[in-house]
């Protein structure tokens, strides 16, 4: 039986104001916290510069933490078309930066992410944060954005495991 090497996963929770990121290592059934944070471009910057700041910061996270794969939370439907479009631009940065770095990029609906971490797709942010503290105790206290990003990485880890069992 071949030993499976540990995989480093970057999770991203897109937002134009605050994009959460989190890196975990999956070693068999074991999850290990590596790092997490939030990218928050200044609101006073022009829109294009905010996107550039976001993209450049994601590139820096990738360089600093050398993930093998990336996972991004899909955008929920927003009733405000203008806000949804702007969020879509931020999400594009989260998809393009890892893709340009040569990483495979997976996408997960928020309900799938919540179910993977909490056990129900209707969990709120407090429940996600609580479970992140339990699943990744070395992460310490996290902001909601960083906790969501770590949850995306965990959802990807679970999906990878499910695919490996199915193969």
Active site residues: 13, 73, 145
d(CA 92, CA 42) in angstroms, rounded, equals 18
3-class secondary structure per residue, 44-67:
CCCHHHHHHHHHHHHHHHHHHHCC
Is the sign of the CA dihedral 130, 113, 79, 87 positive or negative?
A: positive
The whole-angstrom separation of Cα 113 and Cα 13 is 11
């Amino acid at each position: 039986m071949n030993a499976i090497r540990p995989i480093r996963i970057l999770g991203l929770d897109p937002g134009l104001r605050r994009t959460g990121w989190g890196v975990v290592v999956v070693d068999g059934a074991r999850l290990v916290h590596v790092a997490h944070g939030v990218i928050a471009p200044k609101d006073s910057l022009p829109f294009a510069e905010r996107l550039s700041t976001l993209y450049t910061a994601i590139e820096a996270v990738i360089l600093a933490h050398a993930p093998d794969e990336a996972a991004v939370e899909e955008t929920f439907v927003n009733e405000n078309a203008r806000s949804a479009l702007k969020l879509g631009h931020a999400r594009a940065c989260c998809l393009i930066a890892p893709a340009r770095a040569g990483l495979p990029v997976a996408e997960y609906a928020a309900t799938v992410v919540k179910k993977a971490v909490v056990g129900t797709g209707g969990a709120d942010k407090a429940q996600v944060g609580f479970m992140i503290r339990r699943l990744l105790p070395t992460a310490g206290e996290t902001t909601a954005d960083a906790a969501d990003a770590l949850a995306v990485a965990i959802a990807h880890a679970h999906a990878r495991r499910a695919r490996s069992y199915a193969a």
